[in-house]
Amino acid sequence: MNIIEIKNLKFTYDNKEVILDDVSLEIKKGSYTTIIGHNGSGKSTLARLIAGLLDKSGGDIWVNGLLLKEENLKHIRKEIGIVFQNPDNQFIGSSVKDDIAFGLENKCINPKEMDDIIFKYASRVGMENFLDKEPHLLSGGQKQRVAIASVLAINPSIIIFDEATSMLDPKGKKEIKDLIKNLHKDSDKTIISITHDIEEAYHSDYIYVLNKGKIFKKGKPNEIFNNSKELNNIKLDVPFNVKIKEELEKNKIKIESYNSVEEIVENLCRLKLKN
Ligand X SMILES: Nc1ncnc2c1ncn2[C@@H]1O[C@H](COP(=O)(O)OP(=O)(O)OP(=O)(O)O)[C@@H](O)[C@H]1O
| β partners of residue 63 | 4, 66
Is 11 exposed, middle or buried, given 0-12, 13-18 or 19+ CB atoms closer than 10 A? buried
Interacting partner of 39 out of other proteins, Mg ion, ligand X, none (Cβ under 5 to 8 A depending on kind): ligand X
Closer residue to other proteins (CB): 82 or 210: 82
> Residue 11 and residue 160: Cα distance in Å, rounded?
19
Which of these ranges, 32-40, 100-108, 190-198, 241-249, lies near other proteins under the rule CB under 8 A?
Answer: 100-108
Considering only residues 15 through 54, tell me which ones interact with ligand X, judged by CB under 6 A: 19, 37, 39-45
Least distance to ligand X, CB of residue 200, Å:
14
Rounded to whole angstroms, how far apart are CA atoms 50 and 211?
Answer: 18
CB of 65 to other proteins, least distance (A): 20
Residues 6+ apart with CB under 8 A from 150: 92, 99, 100, 102, 103, 121
Q: Least distance (Å) from ligand X to the CB of residue 166?
A: 8
Whole-number minimum distance, CB 271 to Mg ion, in Å? 42
**Residue partners of 130: CB distance under 8 A and separation at least 6:** 96, 122, 138, 142, 146
| Residues that bind Mg ion in the complex, under the rule CB under 5 A | 44
Q: For residue 32, what are the β-bridge partners?
A: 191
Interface positions with other proteins (CB under 8 A): 48, 51, 53, 74, 77-78, 80-82, 84, 86, 88-95, 97-98, 101-111, 114, 134-136, 150-151, 154
